[in-house]
């Protein structure tokens, strides 16, 4: 194995990706496998929305999981670890939802639904993966998917913004608490990528505002986000923890 492969190959790694059946989650799952990993793509659907095709490297196993059901998470993670010598190397907490509505009109039910998936499930997945990540051969990794909405205010998605800000708090807190437990924890905040979730809250006016808000003036490509996830999962990122990485076309840096 040459130096490049030593730094970036995921050969022999066991990786879990939640929310993996479509969109950005599916793109991450495919790229992680192409880097050599055995990837468990978990979602409520249990199967990808489109044909993955033949992989040149790695392996993908799609399966069902409701991340809000803690007992099911515990059972599924144990099954995965037991099938891989008691080890999970990387957990990517990608599952997430949003609902568009004005803040004063949000129901308690919708608020709790968003928090249950975007916050509570992230924390419980970290908890259930913890004993197996500790046993990772190199160093265990957790990669939480946050959002630009963690940093910037957007109208009609306040519950989503609050949930993604909480993901940053979980990331930083766990990175300190588990620093001596062989686990690195980071988050990635995507900018604007075409996805089923973002399309549901985007009209023409919002689209124009978004494109004008970033220096690159274009939406991101799914593989541009997946590349950051693959890097953080790789041996090359062995001295990085407690950080958030914005993959946003320069949006956070843009003043005027």
- pLDDT, tens digit (0-9, with 9 covering 90-100), for 162-196: 999 999 999 999 999 999 999 999 999 999 887 65
Looking at every residue in the chain, the average pLDDT score rounds to 93
pLDDT in the model for residue 209? 79
Q: What are phi and psi of 52, to 5 degrees?
A: -80, -35
For residue 197, pLDDT over 50 is answered with no
Among the listed residues 130, 160, 239, 256, the single catalytic one is: 160
Average pLDDT over residues 220-231: 96
pLDDT in the model for residue 254? 85
Average pLDDT over residues 86-111: 97
pLDDT in the model for residue 150? 94
How deeply is 201 buried, as exposed, middle or buried, from its count of CB atoms within 10 A (0-12, 13-18, 19+)?
middle
pLDDT in the model for residue 198? 55
Q: Is residue 78 part of a domain?
A: yes
Cα–Cα dist 82/46, whole Å: 20
Taking alpha carbons only, the member of 13, 75, 31 closest to residue 222 is: 31
pLDDT digits (tens, 9 = 90+) for 105-160: 999 999 999 999 999 999 999 999 999 999 998 899 999 999 999 999 989 999 99
Q: Is residue 118 part of a domain?
A: yes
Q: Is residue 253 part of a domain?
A: no
- CATH number, domain containing residue 221: 3.40.50.720
Average pLDDT over residues 187-216: 77
pLDDT in the model for residue 53? 83
pLDDT in the model for residue 154? 86
Q: Is residue 59 part of a domain?
A: yes
Average pLDDT over residues 190-208: 71
| Annotation says 160 is catalytic | yes
Cα–Cα dist 31/34, whole Å: 5
Average pLDDT over residues 40-66: 94
Q: Is residue 255 part of a domain?
A: no
Average pLDDT over residues 87-115: 97
Q: Is residue 101 part of a domain?
A: yes
Q: Is residue 23 part of a domain?
A: yes
pLDDT in the model for residue 202? 64
Q: Is residue 256 part of a domain?
A: no
**In which domain, by residue range, is 117 found?**
3-246
Cα–Cα dist 172/185, whole Å: 8
pLDDT in the model for residue 210? 78
Cα–Cα dist 41/49, whole Å: 12
The reported pTM is 0.94
Total number of domains constituting the chain:
1
pLDDT, greater one: 255 or 227: 227
Taking alpha carbons only, the member of 73, 35, 1, 8 closest to residue 231 is: 8
């Amino acid at each position: 194995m040459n130096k490049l492969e030593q730094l970036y190959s995921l050969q022999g790694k066991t990786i879990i990706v939640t929310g993996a059946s479509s969109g950005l989650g599916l793109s991450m799952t495919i790229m992680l496998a192409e880097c050599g990993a055995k990837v468990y793509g978990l979602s409520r659907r249990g199967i990808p929305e489109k044909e993955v095709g033949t992989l040149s490297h790695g392996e993908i196993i799609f399966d069902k999981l409701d991340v809000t059901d803690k007992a099911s998470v515990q059972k599924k993670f144990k099954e995965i670890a037991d099938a891989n010598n008691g080890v999970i190397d990387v957990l990517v907490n990608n599952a997430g939802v949003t609902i568009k509505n004005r803040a004063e009109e949000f129901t308690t039910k919708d608020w709790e639904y968003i928090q249950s998936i975007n916050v509570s499930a992230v924390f419980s997945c970290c908890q259930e993966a913890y004993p197996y990540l500790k046993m990772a051969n190199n160093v265990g990794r957790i990669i939480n998917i946050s959002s630009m909405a963690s940093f910037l205010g957007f109208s009609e998605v306040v519950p989503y913004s609050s949930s993604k800000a909480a993901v940053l708090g979980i990331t930083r807190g766990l990175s300190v608490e588990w620093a001596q437990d062989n686990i690195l924890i980071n988050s990635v905040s995507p900018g604007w990528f075409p996805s089923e979730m973002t399309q549901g809250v985007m009209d023409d006016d919002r689209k124009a505002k978004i494109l004008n808000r970033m220096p690159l003036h274009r939406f991101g490509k799914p593989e541009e986000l997946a590349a950051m996830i693959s890097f953080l999962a790789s041996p090359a990122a062995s001295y990085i923890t407690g950080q958030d990485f914005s993959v946003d076309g320069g949006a956070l840096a843009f003043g005027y």
